[in-house]
A and B are shown apart, each in its own frame.
Chain A
Amino acid sequence: MNDMTPTSAERAEKLEGMGCKRKRVEDVRFTQGKGNYVDDLKLPGMLYGDLVRSPHGHARVKKIDTTKAAAVPGVVAVLTAEVLKTVNLAWMPTLAGDVQMVLADGKVLFQNQEVAFVVAESREAAADAVELVEVEYEALPVNVDPLKAMAPDAPMIREDLKDKPDGAHGKRKHYNHIFSWAAGDKAATDAAFAKADVTIREFIVYPRVHPCPLETCQCVASFDKIRGELTLWGTFQAPHVIRTVGSLISKIPEHKIHVIAPDIGGGFGNKVGAYSGYICSIVASIVTGRPVKWVEDRIENLSTTAFARDFHMDMEIAATKDGKVTAMRCYTIADHGAFDACANATKWPAGLFSIISGSYDFPVAYCLVDGVYTNKAPGGVAYRCSFRVTEAAYCIERAMDIMAQKLGMDPAEFRIKNLIRREQFPYTSAFGWQYDSGDYHTAMNKAMETVDYKKLRAEQKAKREAFKRGETREVMGIGVAFFTEIVGAGPSRACDILGIAMFDSAEIRIHPTGSGICRLGTKSQGQGHETTYAQIIATELGLPADNIMIEEGNTDTAPYGLGTYGSRSTPVSGAATAMACRKIKAKAQMIAAYMLEVHDDDLEWDVDRFRVRGNPERFKTMTELAWAAYHEVPPGMEPGLEAINYYDPPNFTFPFGAYICVVDVDVDTGETKVRRFYALDDCGTRINPMIIEGQIHGGLTEAFGIAMGQEIHYDDDGNVTTASLMDYFLPTAVETPHWETDWTTTPSPHHPIGAKGVGESPNVGGVPCFSNAVNDAFAFLGSTHIQMPHDHWRTWTAAEKLGLHT
């Protein structure tokens, strides 16, 4: 070896593997306007679909007259439920085991519900015709309040279920009831509460919000009558699931359906489900024999496709006098809207909500969730979180603050006293989850030291005294949140979607020259998969990341997978990628041994090559082995260098973090200024720190939006009053705070590379942290809980109720 030979470290750096702040592959096209999103697609003869929607929240549909609409020049077809019935598609199954109207069949159950689908030569002609579809409605009593849904005289939302005492998840106890789901030990929990020193109880509402990706939901359906094949381009976070469900609904054989998800302009859960617009486009393409494009506008997006949350939680905690938690209990009413189209693993109607014991060592716990129907849009997706995890994290983190307040303890100190200790991992929670790894105290202490928590509390104390003396009209709040997520669904024993086990996949093919392609069952919507999966391969196989192409979203070429949501890409497909690499590497090792005329065991791996133990100058690089795989494999070995892995994780992963936020609230205007936000995340092994930081910035900004202003609101008549960006709060660069990010690294013991997933942590931890900060600002005045969102009006109102304006 001479001095010019690059060292292992130098060679490793050139690969741009795991740990590298590799610049994104995707950006080259996105920064030049060359992304390829669904609405960019233009096919010869393509038609445009547009939906007629209900102005009523609840009404009987007496008559639909499409004569005038059909006469508009350029209109090719008008679909109604009657037309859809001829192909048995007036209703469709939901992911949650319910059924949903594709187009109004007899009744409309929420405002803006799909009533008819107009197909025309241009989007303008379609819009003209939508105005001319004449629908006669008879208004019915409306209920938009989930707490009143099970009243004896509540309006019956779902007449189709009137005679069905059983739902997809067991007995229904009222005609508007969907399911009851319980977890934990009720008797032991009740007993612990009965003998508790101190208890708190608070009704905590996580309002209905919407993921609102900048690109709305859209598709192009093209049915080829001659071949009997359907191609469907769409904004799909889970293309394979869409194809399987599409095949089951339409009876088109699955191999004759080609689902393609091109570039997606953000998803955040909004693009998991199957929507009426997709079904109508498919039927319209079959009927007309031409491709049909359907693109939601923003109002349609905010008011019809997949809301999130709407959880109403009655939360209790019990503790000893000296601040040790002894039990928690929570009863929740979950508003699912008019159809149960919630996106959860099928066996989990309330998702993974039983992560609600959080990061704390509760000996016993119990939760019960009742899902109900109301006259609101269907959905219940995980908006940048794993299934119902942000609801759980918000609830426990708010409740921990309320208990600390009652005990007269500092909220951080109270948490430290109850956090699961490092030596308790793997830790089995009172709800039975096995938390894979954690070092909570290290994270919490680092967070508190970095922000100088003691100094902040001292400053707050001084400001509170100044406020009481009338020297300032500002109150200072310090929000603390420590969250544990449960992501990476899932072990197939626990999780499936309509019977499809929630594994995921990677298929890697290394070409003779040492470059390659990896196809996966997941689908990026901005997460940077084309960049990061290649980094895993670079490290595992010793090939430069730049030489690996990543491809997702085409069901004809990608191996089967359940898609991207619930932070599952890295925990599941990331693992599949590593495992597929290891199969390839094992084969390469045999080829290397053959070429170097040594036994397999005499070789050792060194960054990008196999070398002979004790004789490092005799080696074969992975690039050389790729070439050899195609021309001089050992006798009896198949040529080629490729592998596929379907990864069924042994467990979920449990990322965690410690967040601290400082706010100043003007009690006269209700305005909250975020002075500081510090986020420490532990997502296990870090693949690309630049992308992780970007994900955290984005998730915190969404959390800021949710906590400080977002709400999908309905008035009593069922009108959705927040369906445009005029009324629905998306933070701009001006309001958005500056983010400070930090990390600790506690690898997952069961994941092949120790990674846990990160994209959703900042939303899960961020929302309670902001809310705790605003609540903390008023705590010294006797306030225990102010509901989100903490916009000026609500905050001002809270101040008013506390008598601060007299």
Chain B
Amino acid sequence: MAKSHIKMTVNGKAVEELVEPRTLLIHFLREQLSLTGPHIGCETSHCGACTVDLDGKSVKSCTMFAVQADGADIRTIEGMANADGTLHALQEGFRQMHGLQCGFCTPGMITRAYRLLQENKNPSEEEIRYGISGNLCRCTGYQNIVKAIQYAAAKLAGVPFQEAAE
């Protein structure tokens, strides 16, 4: 099958590759670029394990072709840490608040939460729950994911994080 030539920026680095037109973005990232952080959980856009940040939007990379991402600026979990190498507030928050268990949804969940916090710096619990409803988690019951995102929001705002009373 003839291959298409695509160029994009992935985690701040220029990428130029040949891909089959039918190659899914998630397969391109995982197999061609060896970025195995985003996962495949359903291939039908329901679970969100494959979520990446693409041109300022959260995108489920299992239902997009790599060629559609030609020219895009993509960020995956591998590009989430701060420029100085320290962990992003979300990565720290998920560990501090026990926002993960098996870890399979985590890269997609953190990547989604990153965009949520770009759009809303101080989301309420309800806004967080709605904002991550495209990402499924089978282990945590979401309660600690909500806290992890609140923790990150507080840290990014430079204010102390206070857990809501039970």
Which A residues fall within an 8 A CB radius of B? 23-24, 26-35, 37, 39-40, 42, 123-124, 212-216, 263-266, 268, 295, 297-298, 525-528, 690-691, 693-695, 697-702, 724-726, 730, 732-734, 736, 738-740
Contacts and interface: CB of A to CB of B under 8 A. Distances in A.
Nearest to A25: B95
A32 B80 contact: yes
Interface stretch (B2-10, B63-71, B103-111, B154-162): B103-111
B122 interface: no
Contacts of A34: 37
B6 to A, nearest CB: 17
B42 to A, nearest CB: 4
B139 A698 contact: yes
A701 B142 CA distance: 9
Given A28-B95, A40-B36, A698 B20 contact: no
A658 B20 CA distance: 56
A725 B47 contact: yes
A730 B105 CA distance: 13
B102 A31 contact: no
B101 A298 contact: no
Given A40-B36, A266-B138, A736-B129, 12 more contacts: A26-B103, A31-B94, A33-B80, A42-B34, A214-B41, A266-B101, A725-B42, A725-B47, A730-B136, A732-B136, A733-B130, A738-B143
B100 A30 contact: yes
Contacts of A264: 102
A37 B37 contact: no
Given A27-B100, A37-B104, A32 B132 contact: no
Nearest to B129: A733
Counting chain A CB atoms within 10 Å of each CB, the highest count among B92, B107, B141, B144 belongs to B141
Contact of A526 (B101, B107, B135): B101
Given A526-B103, A738-B143, A726 B77 contact: no
Interface in B53-74: none
B13 interface: no
Q: Which of B35, B92, B95 has its CB near the most chain A CB atoms (within 10 A)?
A: B95
Given A28-B95, A30-B103, A725 B46 contact: yes
Given A298-B42, A701-B142, A730-B136, A214 B100 contact: no
B141 A739 contact: yes
A42 B80 contact: no
Contact of A698 (B77, B141, B166): B141
B25 interface: no
A42 B31 contact: yes
B159 to A, nearest CB: 22
A695 B98 CA distance: 10
A213 B77 CA distance: 21
A31 B106 contact: yes
B97 to A, nearest CB: 9
Contacts of B35: 33
Interface string B33-51: 0111111111110110100
A214 B46 CA distance: 11
Interface string B73-105: 000111011000001000110111010111111
B140 interface: yes
A124 B103 contact: no
Contact of A736 (B42, B44, B77, B142): B142
B153 interface: no
Contacts of A23: 95-96, 98
B98 A694 contact: yes
Contacts of A298: 41-44, 47
Contacts of A740: 166
11 contacts: A42-B34, A214-B105, A214-B136, A264-B102, A697-B143, A724-B44, A725-B136, A730-B136, A733-B137, A733-B146, A736-B141
Nearest to B143: A697
Nearest to A29: B103
Interface of B: 20, 22-23, 27, 30-31, 34-44, 46-47, 49, 76-78, 80-81, 87, 91-92, 94-96, 98, 100-107, 110, 128-130, 132-146, 166
A60 to B, nearest CB: 32
B139 A33 contact: no
A739 B49 CA distance: 24
Contact of A213 (B27, B43, B102, B128): B102
A690 B142 contact: no
Contacts of B39: 37, 39, 214-215, 265
B98 A24 contact: yes
The 4 closest A-B pairs by CB, nearest first: A33-B37, A526-B102, A265-B104, A30-B103
Contact of B101 (A37, A216, A527): A527
B127 to A, nearest CB: 11
Contact of A33 (B23, B41, B107, B132): B107
B141 A701 contact: yes
Contacts of A732: 132-134, 136, 142
A31 B105 contact: no
A726 B46 contact: yes
Given A39-B40, A694-B144, A733-B146, A32 B102 contact: no
Contacts of B42: 297-298, 724-725
A691 B139 CA distance: 11
Given A24-B98, A265-B102, A725-B47, A215 B41 contact: yes
A295 B87 CA distance: 31
Given A725-B42, A739-B141, A263 B103 contact: yes
A31 B77 CA distance: 8
Contacts of A42: 31, 34
B124 to A, nearest CB: 13
A31 B38 contact: no
A212 B137 CA distance: 11
Contacts of A295: 40
A691 B102 contact: no
A179 B34 CA distance: 49
A214 B140 contact: no
A212 B138 contact: yes
A730 to B, nearest CB: 5
Given A32-B87, A266-B104, A739-B141, A734 B129 contact: yes
B87 A31 contact: yes
A42 B35 CA distance: 12
Given A124-B22, A724-B42, A265 B103 contact: yes
B140 A698 contact: yes
B88 to A, nearest CB: 9
A72 to B, nearest CB: 12
B133 A734 contact: yes
B130 to A, nearest CB: 6
